[in-house]
Structure 1
Amino acid sequence: MLLEVIACTPEEAAAAERGGADRIEWITDPSVGGVTPDLSLAEQMRRAVSVPIRVMVRPRGGGFVYAEDELEQMRRDIRRIAAAGGLDVVTGVLTPEGTVDQSALAGLLNAGPGLAFTFHRAFDEAGDLPRALDELSVHPQVTDVLTSGGAPAAPEGAAVLAELLRRSAGRPPRILAGAGLTAENLRPFLDAAGADRIHIGSAARIGGASSAPIDPARVREIRGIIADWSAARQ
């Protein structure tokens, strides 16, 4: 089981790790779903935690079809992340037709050879999720796909997530289930979807508010639910 928690600052990342996070997704501006953070803080982020960190590379909120100047900025950011060391990447690109933009994605991957990539919830806006998963499977660097099963929140997409998990069994990329998961709905979601990699955002924060600080106790509660569910399956 893997628990990934969103953090916007080194202090938040440290709080998430204290609560039991296995990995950090580093972003800024969660109100728009996250954009590229201030990469000058990379060294502070690495010093703050011992768990892996994946950095959002997204130049703006909104859709996931990018102009060439935006793609060039994304490639520059990935090169900076690679140069910093000890970090990986979260990103996603689509064509206007709603398919994975293979050419743009290849350019991003080539900007960070050796880095692991999560293809983020741009995936959920693809017109055909099984096809999109197959398209991503040809890229060994894409190790994870963050998805809610195409629904606004993962609990609503549990059936689709279960099918995606069956489709991806034994091969990368692995499904990372996220969006709308909380301590209250996590256990029934796990029962329905069978996911073993979980991504948490607002649920890790005081009062469940995206602008509030991370509460290690809330992360610890979610970690416990995941551990109990996993143990019951043994």
Structure 2
Amino acid sequence: MLLEVIATNLTDVKDAAQFGADRIELSPAMTELGITPSYGLMNKTMEAVSIPVNVMVRPHSQSFVYNKNDVETMKSDIEMIKNLGANGIVIGALTPEQTVDEEVIKQLLDVADGLEVTFHRAFDFARNQLEALECLAKYSQITTILTAGGDYKAPDAIPQLNQLIHLAKDTHLSIMVGHGLRAETFADVYHQIEPQAFHFGSGVRVNDSFDKSLDADKIKKIKQIMQVS
């Protein structure tokens, strides 16, 4: 069982590793659902920690629909991420009809050869998650889907999450549950679902806010629940 923690800056990166995260998602601007970090932040992150780091690749926060210019930007960013030695990338693209944009995904995967790939919460805004999962299962490079079970907080979508986890068992994909998770209520959620990973953002911070620092006690509590259970 893996615990991934969002880091928005270098202090977060160092704290996440020190406090017990198994993996970091490097993703600034989380009030806008995350964007691609700067070269400086990526470079210093790779120098600072030894745990795996997956980097958000999202050129803007306007939507999950991307044009040719956006795709060229993302491809260039992925090349840089590879060169810096990251573990993986976090991507997602939808068509205006809210289906997985396979043309964009194919182009990004061509550049991402050798990197672990997570499809991010664009998945939760697809018109049909089962259709989206079936589509993503065609791409062996995509190893993980990050989801809250739809446009909800994860604790409010337990039946949908369990359905997705069940369907993913017949594929190479793993489901990572995230969004709306809190340390105080995590045990209840944990015992109702069986994903292979959990993803925490504001829920492991002081006052449950991205404006605050990571909270060592909250991460410790989550790790204890995952280990005891």
Fold shared by both chains (TM-score > 0.5) = yes
Q: Which amino acid aligns with 1:53?
A: V
Which residue of structure 2 lines up, in the alignment, with residue 120 of structure 1?
A: 120
Over residues 68-87 of structure 1, what are the superposed CA-to-partner deviations in whole Å (9 max), with x where a residue is unaligned?
Answer: 11111111111111121233
- Stretch of structure 1 that moved more, 70-79 or 219-228: 219-228
Q: Which amino acid aligns with 2:96?
A: P
Say if 1:159 and 1:192, in contact at 8 Å, map to a contact too.
no
Which residue of structure 1 lines up, in the alignment, with residue 160 of structure 2?
A: 160
Which residue of structure 2 lines up, in the alignment, with residue 105 of structure 1?
A: 105
Q: CA deviation at 1:170?
A: 4.8
Which residue of structure 2 lines up, in the alignment, with residue 42 of structure 1?
A: 42
Q: Which amino acid aligns with 2:82?
A: A
SS in 1 for 2:4: strand
Q: CA deviation at 1:67?
A: 1.3
Q: Which amino acid aligns with 1:39?
A: Y
Counterparts of 1:58-207 in structure 2, within 5 Å, are 58-207=58-207
- Alignment length (residue pairs): 229
- Please give the alpha-carbon distance, in whole angstroms, between the structure 2 residues aligned to 1:207 and 1:139: 39
- Please give the alpha-carbon distance, in whole angstroms, between the structure 2 residues aligned to 1:173 and 1:148: 16
- Please give the alpha-carbon distance, in whole angstroms, between the structure 2 residues aligned to 1:158 and 1:59: 31
| 1:30 partnered with 2:26 | no
Say if 2:174 and 2:196, in contact at 8 Å, map to a contact too.
no
- Please give the alpha-carbon distance, in whole angstroms, between the structure 2 residues aligned to 1:210 and 1:41: 17
Say if 1:158 and 1:192, in contact at 8 Å, map to a contact too.
yes
SS in 2 for 1:193: coil
Q: Which runs of 5+ in 2 are unaligned?
A: none
SS in 2 for 1:172: coil
SS in 1 for 2:64: coil
**Normalized against structure 2, the TM-score is what?**
0.96
- Please give the alpha-carbon distance, in whole angstroms, between the structure 2 residues aligned to 1:228 and 1:20: 15
Say if 1:11 and 1:48, in contact at 8 Å, map to a contact too.
no
Which residue of structure 2 lines up, in the alignment, with residue 232 of structure 1?
A: none
Q: Which amino acid aligns with 2:171?
A: R
Say if 1:59 and 1:70, in contact at 8 Å, map to a contact too.
yes
Say if 1:154 and 1:180, in contact at 8 Å, map to a contact too.
yes
SS in 1 for 2:192: helix
RMSD: 1.3
- Stretch of structure 1 that moved more, 90-99 or 164-173: 164-173
**Normalized against structure 1, the TM-score is what?**
0.94
- Please give the alpha-carbon distance, in whole angstroms, between the structure 1 residues aligned to 2:22 and 2:62: 28
Say if 2:174 and 2:195, in contact at 8 Å, map to a contact too.
no
- Please give the alpha-carbon distance, in whole angstroms, between the structure 2 residues aligned to 1:184 and 1:159: 21
- Please give the alpha-carbon distance, in whole angstroms, between the structure 2 residues aligned to 1:6 and 1:142: 19
Q: Which amino acid aligns with 2:20?
A: G
Q: Which runs of 5+ in 1 are unaligned?
A: 230-234
- Stretch of structure 1 that moved more, 132-141 or 40-49: 40-49
Say if 1:183 and 1:225, in contact at 8 Å, map to a contact too.
no
- Please give the alpha-carbon distance, in whole angstroms, between the structure 2 residues aligned to 1:174 and 1:196: 6
Over residues 20-44 of structure 1, what are the superposed CA-to-partner deviations in whole Å (9 max), with x where a residue is unaligned?
Answer: 1110000111111111111233231
Say if 2:183 and 2:204, in contact at 8 Å, map to a contact too.
no
SS in 2 for 1:185: helix
- Please give the alpha-carbon distance, in whole angstroms, between the structure 2 residues aligned to 1:46 and 1:87: 10
Which residue of structure 2 lines up, in the alignment, with residue 228 of structure 1?
A: 228
